[in-house]
Amino acid sequence: MTAHTPPSPPFRDPSLPFAKRIDDLLSRLTLEEKTAFLHQFAPSVERLGIAAFRTGQEALHGVAWMGPATVFPQAVGLGATWNPELVRRVGDAVSKEIRAMRARDDRVGLNVWAPTVNLLRHPCGAATRRATPRTRSSPRRSPPPTRTACAATTPPTGAPRPC
């Protein structure tokens, strides 16, 4: 007699459309579990086989809060330089440092918010505008490519607007 393996739930089936998988997962989670996922440090849901995870980590002026690392000026200080290349270099340095930390400890996430942009201080100005990321991939394949986000200002309509 052989043991019957229960079928895998739809949210674990990579051949299904993403939206169907999400709908299935959300239907299986309790309100308390969904609420817990709103935190940066999400707990495990053992009954569904979901391990604890971290959604991201702030690196406003580097990742020194995680251990020895370079500390960069706050976003307002970087912004005051009016030097986009410097901000890109800071983002690249943070990317390298977080990957080195990840190599030592696989609990360190690679979803890092750095450097951040304070649009309230942007010369074009209103708080109703949002940042639209534009990514740049490194041409290297080993280690994995990094992504550097650059902000562009847009009005609430989403149409780009030059300063």
Q: What is the DSSP string of 132-148?
A: EEEEEE-S--SSPPPEE
For 18-51, b/e burial (b = at least 16 CB within 10 A) is: eeebeeebeeebeeebeebeeeeebeebeeeebe
Q: What share of the chain is helix, strand, coil (3-state, %, to 5)?
A: 35, 20, 50
For residue 12, count CB atoms less than 10 angstroms from its CB and return exposed for 0-12, middle for 13-18, buried for 19 or more: middle
Domain boundaries of the chain, sorted by first residue: 10-54, 57-154
Note whether 22 and 11 are within 8 A (CB). yes
pTM: 0.48
**Residues listed for the chain:** 163
Note whether 112 and 94 are within 8 A (CB). yes
pLDDT in tens, the chain (163 residues): 566 777 899 999 999 999 999 999 999 999 999 999 887 788 999 999 999 887 777 777 777 777 788 888 877 788 888 998 998 898 888 889 889 988 988 777 777 776 665 555 555 544 434 444 444 444 444 455 454 444 443 344 444 444 4
DSSP state of 63: S
